[in-house]
Each structure stands twice: as structure tokens, then as C-alpha cells.
Structure 1
Amino acid sequence: MENISYYMPSNTLTMEGLEISESSTYPVFFTLLFVYIALLITNIGVLVIIVAERSLHQPMYLLFCNLSVNDILGNTILMPRVLLDMVSKERFISYSACVTQAFFSHTYGSASHTILIVMAIDRYVAICNPLRYSSIMTTKAVVTLSVCAWGFSAVLVGILLSLTIRLSRCRSLIKHAFCDNASLFKLSCEDVSINNIYGLFYTVLLFSSSMGTVAVTYIRIAVICWTKKNAELNSKAIQTCASHLVLYLIMLLMGYIIIIMHRFPENQFIRKLIAILFHVIPAHLNPIIYGLQTKHLRLKILQVFGRKVNPS
């Protein structure tokens, strides 16, 4: 089902999608649908609580709103299309729509790193410079850091895809469950060495910057807690940093699994499924983990559900 015309490629592409048996189609479909709806409810719920509750208008919670927005956008541009392809006999998508989906998919992954970098810096300032926290992490600073996180991700992904869309196409089959950069440049019969080089640079830059920032900030936090031996400070550090670190490790683990699975092209179904789970699992767990580990947010969530909570 591939278009072999080199000079006049069709603007309509065919999506290979998840190749599963007919008996497994609807169980997998409804499982993914349930997970998608659940992540929408939890992320939108957290957003509404933070926006509506003035006591939560603090840099830590406002920065977390970026993560929820990223989870909602990244999955909404992906999951409805994946679910539709699972129950459709004809899986067609226009080239422009495929590029758009790839842009948001990669931006989701990149922004997950950059937003968590900003949140690590926020936790560092809060614990290591508590007296200057309010003067450093102002509303302007939060907005600036958020814009930089999104802008940096968009620029990296924009360059990545601009190198791909310049290529002419000789194929029309997307061998994946959704559109991404690798699937798009594999439609070309041209030399894609530049794409591979920039893709490696993009991955190394993103992972090294996020891992480096998180490592440095958490080592500094650990040193401060160890030298001061302050029980209150240590308790605050654990409460505020545990959720952030868990979110980061989940996202990092899923990213590494995807990279490793690209080395095993024969396991196509597992690779496609893991790529989907990379979007839905962190997005589903982020508000749950952050809500349970962060005391003030947890109290507000419990109050919303009508439970009497003693703040002390």
C-alpha cells in the first residue's frame, strides 16, 4: 500500500496503526479510552483546583499547571486519532495533519523535560534560599521560566521537523501507531544523514540538560539538608521534592525504554504500544503523585471530595 511515485507523492498517507487481533481490538480500545478519559479528568481537575484556590497561587503549583497543560495537549492531539484508527478499516491521514501530530507529540516529550527542569530550579531556590524565595520566584519569573520552557521545546522540535519536511517523498505508509519525525523522514528516498545527526544532537541536548540540572539541584539540596541537620528543613525537602523526583524518574524511564526499543525493529507492536504508553502513563500518574505527595494540594483535593480535613 505504498506510493512509489518519487516526484509526485500523494498528500494522503496511510497509517499502519496498532496491529492487533480482532478479538483484542475492543478490549485494548476501551482500556486506552478509559485511561485517556481518566487523565483528562485528573489533570483538568488539578488545574481547576489550583486556579480556583488562591492559597495555591504559588510558583510551585503554577509551574505544575504547565505540566498538566502539556499532558492534556500532548494526549489530546494523539489519543483520539489512535483510538479512531483502531476501529477504522481505512487509516488515512493528510501529510499536513501528520506533521502537526508529530510536532505536538515531540513537543510534549521535550516540554516534559524542560518543565521539570524549571520545577527543579524552583525547589532548589525554595530549600537552599528560603529567605530570598519570594523575591526570586516572582510572578514575572514564573511566567518567564514557563515561556522559556515551552519556547525552547518548540524551537528544538521546529528545527527537527523542518529538516524532515524539506525532503521529497517516495512512500506513503506511516509504519507507526501515530506520526512522529522518524516515521516522516522514512517516507523519503533521499539521504537523511542530516536528520539523524540533528536527531542525535536533539536527544543528547535534551536528556543531558534535564539530567544535569536535576542532578546538580538535588545534590545541592541534599548537601544543604545534611550540613544544617534541621528536621523541619529535611521534612520540607522530602515533601516538596519527592513528588517532583518521582515524576521525573517515570518520564526518564519511559523515554529510555522508547530509545532502547528502536534498537529492536522486529518488535513493532511492543514499540508502538510503549510509544503510546509514554504519553498516557506519565500524564495519568502526574496529578495523582503530585496530589498525594504535596500536602496543601492534597488537602484541597480532599476538601473538594467533601472530606473534613484538619490542616494541622
Structure 2
Amino acid sequence: MNSSSSSSLVLLGLEQLRPVGWLLLLLLLFVWLFVVLSDSLLIFVIISRRVLHKPMFVFIAAVLANSLIASSIVYPKLLRDLGQMGLSPGPVRVSVGACLTQAFMLHAIGSSSFMLLGAMALDRYMSITCPLQYTVLMSPHCVLTLLLLCWLCPPALVGSAIALTSRLPLCSSTVQRIYCDPYTVISVGCPGAMARLTAAYGLFAMVLVLFVPGSFVVFSYGRILWVCLFRSRSFSRKALQTCVPHIAVFLNYLLSTAFDLLHRRVSTGAGASHAMEGLATAASLLTVMIPTVFNPLVYGLKVSEIYQQLGAVLQR
């Protein structure tokens, strides 16, 4: 295959949305404003109310901050592309450099959120299984260390993958996507040793930042459920009430990742039909919308301490 000299990519996934482009633009604008306002309000409540200055709420604020940053990376670009598509009959193009930049920021934030969910599971595990030593084990120094680990490791791993991806020669310039991630460029890269090395490193980075924290989350909450079986009913009810919102957010991220993998498989599979490509594009759109909307709703309404303080702030 001959290497392509094109310096831009065509996002064919947006073409599937052309018939409902303006309606979708208004919907995404409303969703983005909701995400920005709700995430900002919850972060403000956690920071301003001293009673919420505890490790669990610090991690919740960090997850909400990541959600706010991720929405600011994806939604404005989607809104601009949809507006451009409505005003111009041509396809939406994005430079390879801009695509890689968005891919780096989006995956670094997403991987950081997964690691933060792992740190949150550790916090709940310590709180329920070691209540007497909890304040010592989850000291402010420990919380700060976990936050730095969750915020610094993913950019280093994802940045290395992006650096390898940027060296791939391109054999095509069209991708069935509505936004960019590392796989977007890898899927149009020319096959060879560099492509295999990039794919292998990407798999290694994914295992470190997704599957390892995910496995720890499953172990921690499984262990918590096991402990609750041998405790009093009131203790078990209180423990489960604090864990259910975090489990719901983790499952939300897990399902969103599964949707994204389904999108890649369907849209790049051999013989993918036009209808299947449209379904894959819809799955990709839901991958963007559901996590960012779900997080503030769960933490704002289902975590009783935050809900109470939110009500007090709104009343004032």
C-alpha cells in the first residue's frame, strides 16, 4: 500500500448525522451547558462546604473536574463541526495534528477518571473494612499522592502512544468517527512494524490505565459486599448506600467503553453496511453524552451528603 501524503482526515461519522445536524447541534449545546453548570456547581459545593472536606468527596470532585474538562474537549469541537456541516455541503476535515491533540487530551482524561474510580474504591474499602485505621490510612498526604498518581500517569502513558502514532505513515484519509482518538489514526495507518509496535504499546497502556484499576474496583466492592454479609443490617445498609453511586458511575464508564469498542468493531469491520455504520455512529455519540450527563446526576442526587449541602447552597 502506498503512503498517503494527506495532512488531514475526513470524519465520515459526521456524515451519518447530516439529516439531523441542526437538531443535534441544539441538543448537544443544551447538554454541554447542563454539564458545565452542574459539574461546576457540585465542585463549588464540595470545595466551599467544610463538612465535605473528606477523601471520598475529594475524589468525587476530581472525577467531576475530569468530566468537565472532557466535555470541554469534545462538545465545542462537535458543535463547530455540526455547524460547519450545516453551512457547507463538503465533508468535515480535521488536521492530523489537531486530531492527535484531541485524542491525547480525551484519552488522558478518560484514563485518569478510571484511575480515580479505582482510588475511590480504595477509599471505600478502607472506610468499611478498616474503620478504626481509616483516618491514618487515608491521610491528606495519601489522598494527594493518589490524586497526583491518577492525574500524571495517564498523560505519560497516553502521550507515549500518541508520539508513536504520530510517526505512522497514512494510507487513507477517511475515518468512520465523529471525534478523534488514537485508534482513529492507527486505523488509517499503513501496515508494518511501526503499526504493530504502536498497537502493542496501545494495548499495554490500556491494560495499565483501564483494566488494572477496573479489576481493583471489582475486587474492592466485591470484598465490601462480602464484609456486609457478616455485619448488622444497619451497617450493611449504610455501607451499600455510600457505595451504590460509585458502582453506578463505574458501570457507566464500563458500558461507555464497551459502546466505543463496539463502534470501532462495527464501523471498521469487513462488509459493514450503511445501517450498521449509522448504528456505530449513534453508539459513538452516546459514548460522549452519557458519562458526562450521568456523573453530576448520580453524585448530586444520590450522595446524600452532597445533596443536602447542595440544597443549602441553593437556598442561600
TM-score (norm 1): 0.89
Unaligned runs of 5+ in 2: none
Q: 2:296 aligns with which of 267, 273, 287?
A: 287
How far 1:44 moved relative to its partner?
0.7
Q: Which residue of 1 aligns with 2:163?
A: 162
Residue 42 (structure 2) pairs with residue 41 (structure 1): no
User: Gaps spanning 5+ residues in structure 1: where?
Assistant: 308-312
Aligned residues of 2:115 and 2:210 also touching (Cα < 8 A):
no
How many angstroms apart in 1 are the aligned matches of 2:146 and 2:167?
Answer: 32
Equivalent residue number for residue 102 of structure 1 = 103
SS in 1 for 2:265: coil
| CA distance 1:76–1:236, change in 2 (3 Å) | same
What does residue 306 of structure 1 align with?
A: 315
Q: Does 1:16 align with 2:12?
A: yes
For residues 70 and 121 of structure 1, what CA distance do their matches in structure 2 show? 19
Shift of 1:64: 0.8
Residue 249 (structure 1) aligns with? 251
Query: Which of 36, 47, 52 is matched with 1:51 structurally?
Result: 47
Aligned to 1:273: 282
1:160-196: CA deviation from partner (whole Å, max 9, x where unpaired): 2122111123444444211111211234324222222
For the Cα contact (< 8 Å) 2:7–2:96, is it kept in 1? yes
TM-score by length of 2: 0.88
Amino acid at match of 1:114: M
Partner of 2:216: 213
In 2, Cα distance between equivalents of 1:23 and 1:170? 29
- In the alignment, what sits opposite 1:65? 61
Aligned-residue CA RMSD (Å): 2.2
Deviation at 1:223, TM superposition (A): 2.2
Shift of 1:263: 2.2
> Which runs of structure 2 are paired with 1:176-255 in the superposition (5 Å)?
176-191=177-192, 192-227=195-230, 229-255=231-257
CA distance 1:260–1:172, change in 2 (3 Å): closer
Q: Secondary structure at the match of 2:177?
A: coil
Taking the aligned partners of 1:190 and 1:29, their CA distance within structure 2 comes to: 36
**Which range moves more in the overlay, 285-294 or 9-18?**
9-18
Match of 1:82 in 2: 78
Farther off after superposition, 130-139 or 263-272:
263-272
Shift of 1:13: 4.0
- Report deviation, 1:86: 1.0
Q: Supply the distance in 2 between the matched residues of 1:212 and 1:147 (Cα, whole angstroms).
A: 20
Q: Per the alignment, do residues 6 and 16 of structure 1 end up closer, same or farther by CA in structure 2, a change over 3 Å counting?
A: same
- The one-letter code sitting in structure 1 at the alignment partner of 2:128 is I
Per-residue deviation, 1:273: 3.0
Amino acid at match of 1:108: I
Identical amino acids, percent of aligned pairs: 29
Query: Is the Cα–Cα contact under 8 Å of residues 5 and 171 in structure 1 kept in the other structure?
Result: no
- Code of the residue aligned with 1:47 in structure 2: it is I
* SS of the residue 1:93 aligns to: strand
Aligned to 1:310: none
Shift of 1:132: 1.2
- Which amino acid is the alignment partner of residue 303 of structure 1? A
Mapped contact 1:50–1:56 kept (Cα < 8 A): yes
Distance 2:283 2:155 in 1: 23
CA drift at 1:130: 1.1
Q: Write the distance in 2 (CA, Å) between the matches of 1:127 and 1:94.
A: 50
- Tell me the CA shift for residue 208 of structure 1: 2.8
2:165, 2:198 within 8 Å by CA — same for their partners in 1? Answer: yes
Relative to structure 1, the CA distance from residue 81 to residue 131 in structure 2 (aligned partners, 3 Å threshold; closer, same or farther) is same
Which amino acid is the alignment partner of residue 312 of structure 2? Q
Shift of 1:241: 0.2
Q: Is the 1:74–1:279 contact (alpha carbons within 8 Å) kept by the matching residues of 2?
A: no
Aligned equivalents of 1:197 and 1:22: distance in 2?
35
Deviation, 1:10, is 4.4
1:148 shift after superposition: 0.7
CA distance in 1, matches of 2:306, 2:54: 11
> What residue in structure 1 maps to residue 120 of structure 2?
119
- CA shift, 1:6, in A, is 3.9
Looking at structure 1, the residues matched to 167 and 144 of structure 2 have their Cα atoms a distance apart, in angstroms, of 34
